[in-house]
Amino acid sequence: MAAVANTNLVTITINDRDLQVPKGELIVESVKRLGLEIPIFCYHPRMKPVGMCRMCLVEVGFKQPDGSVRKMPKPQAGCTLPASEGMVVYTDSEMVHRDRKGVLEFLLINHPLDCPICDRGGECPLQNNTLFYGPSTSRFVEMKRHQPKAFPLSEYVTLDLERCIQCGRCVRFTEEISGDAELAFRFRGAAMTPSTFELRRFTSKFSGNVIEICPVGALTSAKYRFRARPWDLETRPSVCTLCSNGCNVWFDYRVQKMVRINGRTNEAVNEEWTCDKGKFGHDYYNDPDRLTNVLVRKGDALERSGWTAVYEPLVQAFASGGNRVAALVGPTLSNEDLYAVQKLFRTHFGSHNLDHRFARESSGDPLPIGSTIAELEHEKAILVFGTDLASEAPMYHLRVRKGWFRNGLKLVVAHSADTDADSFAHLVLRYRPGSELAMAEALGGRTSPEEAERATGVSADRISAARAMLTEVSAPILMTRSILNADGGSGAIAALQGLGGPVSVLALGANEQGAAELGVLPDRGPGNSPLPDGAVPGLGTRGILEAAAQGNLDALWLFGCDPFGTFADRDLVRRALEKVPFLVVQDVLPTEATHYASVVLPMTAPAEQDGTYTSAERRVQRIAPILPPKGESKPVWRALEELTLRLSPRTPLFSAREVMDEIAATAPEFAAARYAELDGEGVVLGTASPD
């Protein structure tokens, strides 16, 4: 909905029906309350109204003391008209119908009639509005303008200048929402076109959104062009798993292959936006190198085998291993998978050598999560420390910027390098690389600004000003777990708590937070529960790799992770994987670690199985199966359940829903995250309770 000036109600009349609406609400939004529609092109409810296209023209008048209605002499743009007491609006009058036809006739003067080959055909607002409101024929027979076709703005976005109707949505998105301001209008009149500055490449991290909000086929996806028609596609709701933000998306597929990703509205998370990584990064579903069969090493080669044949070797390698077996887990596993992993290793293998953390430092205590995404836009001030949010937590970045743009939020950015948030920061503290701890201690009040100036290179005055502003309002502090790759990262987290505001150390991987919550850790079980009495904590990631490299590990299981790509010490990883006698790699795609594997197990991708994911703000959301599993791939929890039956015959768990029910019984905070509770925006752990 559009921004409302205040909560006072006024009475207006729409098509002879009285209605109370908030004073200042735009008429284009007020009519929706009656189930009516005003056609639009340039208007977007998340951006400021500009009244450029004039498609939303309505007839407007005001009630007079004698009961009559005095109409304005000309129609008004419903997208820029605020509601006021006594206003009378007509959306279906003869004047309105005539004006809509006129607007559409002018818009189509130069618009090419190439709907049969346009990727927007079938879901095009211009096409729909023309059919519903436009003229049946055109009076214009002159030659249309001709512009370059399929001009590549970037790797992802293609511009067709002939189709542009100059609505300005794309330009306004880059100015108001993403903030990079990479697009602007060039020239005037019919020659006016959206363009990047000096015709550079469109490098915004959020460029894919302009494709979705373009009301014509002027901006199209280079990845989707000519691949399908909307009516050829099947569409299902899903959740992006390429970072920890948990963005809601529409998953479009055709003949069991992923075709495209579009943003799906969830006001609590991503509103309706996506980052380019999430919008264009799901091609791995169609990768021809997907792992689809069980492979077993025979000499120097991996040969095809089957699930039933491989369970016995797995039992022999792990079942009696105790502290000589271990598991490393990646962030793409679902909550159900993660729970099954830790349960198998603790209960049946007798090992607490489990970890999902690959940073240089591993905090012994649970990392704090102090703010949800939606809360951030209402804060008075925020500190972003040691991270570029636009790259590592893109929806947090957009929400912080929204708070600055709409509500006057003051932002302090502390980082050793340039970040996207610098452009709207109130203060930027550019410290020397490696001085994170010194900067955090100064901001947290442990050391003086003068001492910090010598260590960080940031002036004492700026440090003092930042600390005063942040402590005055108990400002939230945002970091990501990349801080643990810096010297003294754990100490920096502790020091910043001295500012008094809620601290959030955000997970980076899709379900990294879920792994922490469900006890994929050497010293804690699900729900942060302690290990059983007498149990000795296991080894963390570095300890596991060192034990393997020293010959003190008999078997290692890699679940959806490749230590070569995630752990800093590649040489240690190489020595560990070369030395361990039995290595299992269970993944979606082959990795560098696959070359060292004794057994390779194919794993389903997120949209190929039923399961839940816990985002960085501890929000649990469900992904229902969309595509069928590739080849013989299975969800991790199902494969481990089948393995467990070889060790302990019992009634198995038959569905992911049953696994979540067991999780809810084991970790009380997940009791509110049973499948029946996960419709809509999901459930944030610690803020909801079961019925």
Asked if 89 and 113 sit in the same domain, the reply is no
Residue pair 92/15 in contact (Cβ under 8 Å)? The answer is yes
pLDDT at residue 5 above 70? Answer: no
Q: Report yes or no on 258 lying in a domain.
A: yes
Quick: pLDDT tens for 312-356: 999 999 998 889 999 999 999 999 999 999 999 999 999 999 999
Mean pLDDT of 445-454: 95
Q: Is the pLDDT of residue 447 over 80?
A: yes
Q: Domain containing 57 — which CATH number? A: 3.10.20.740
- Label the pairing between strands 17-22 and 9-14: antiparallel
pLDDT in tens, 534-556: 888 999 999 999 999 999 999 99
403 with 487, same domain: the answer is yes
Domain match, 16 and 126 both: no
- What angle (nearest 5°) sits at the alpha carbon of residue 35, between those of residues 34 and 41? 115
What pLDDT is recorded for position 189?
84
Domain count along the chain: 5
What CATH number has the domain bearing residue 269?
Answer: 2.20.25.90
* 211 has pLDDT over 80: yes
Predicted TM-score (pTM) of this structure: 0.94
pLDDT tens, residue by residue, 101-132: 999 999 998 899 889 999 999 999 999 999 99
- 520 and 658, same structural domain? yes
pLDDT at 528: 87
| Count of CB atoms situated within 10 Å of the CB of 118 | 20
Same domain membership, residue 658 and residue 578: yes
Residue 367 lies in a domain: no
Residues in the chain, how many? 691
- Is 689 within the bounds of a domain? no
Q: Are residues 152 and 22 in the same domain?
A: no
| CB 641, CB 672: distance < 8 Å | no
Between residues 221 and 679, the one the model is more confident about: 221
Q: What secondary structure, in 3-state letters, does 597-625 show?
A: CCEEEEECCHHHCCEEEECCCCEEEEECC
CATH number at residue 166: 3.30.70.20
What six digits make up the tokens of 140? 């214009």
User: Tell me: the pLDDT tens digits for 476-490?
Assistant: 999 999 999 998 999
Domain CATH number, residue 396:
3.40.228.10
CATH classification at residue 652: 3.40.50.740
**Domain span holding position 207:** 108-221
The answer to whether position 690 is within a domain reads: no
Does residue 591 lie in a domain region?
yes
- Pair 114, 164 in one domain: yes
Average pLDDT of the residues of the chain: 93
Domain stop point among 445, 476, 501: 501
> What 3-state class would DSSP assign to 359?
coil
Final residue in a domain of this structure, among 473, 501, 529: 501
Residue 584 lies in a domain: yes
Strand partners for 295: 304, 600
Cα 447 to chain center, whole Å?
37
Same-domain status, 98 and 240: no
Average pLDDT over residues 546-575: 96
Quickly state the pLDDT bin for 147 (edges 50, 70, 90): confident
- Three-state secondary structure of 313-357: HHHHHHCCCHHHEEEEECCCCCHHHHHHHHHHHHHHCCCCCEECC
Domain termination residue (choose one: 86, 106, 126): 106
Write a three-state SS string for 258-325: EEEEEECCECCCCECCCCHHHHHCCHHHHCCCCCCCCEEEECCEEEECCHHHHHHHHHHHHCCCHHHE
In a domain, 305, yes or no: yes
Same domain flag for 618 and 549: yes
Q: CB of 617 within 8 A of CB of 393?
A: no
Same domain for 550 and 650? Answer: yes
In a domain, 324, yes or no: yes
Read off the pLDDT of residues 380-400 as tens digits, 9 standing for 90 and up. Answer: 999 999 999 999 999 999 999
Q: Are residues 679 and 530 part of one domain?
A: yes
Do residues 634 and 526 share a domain? yes
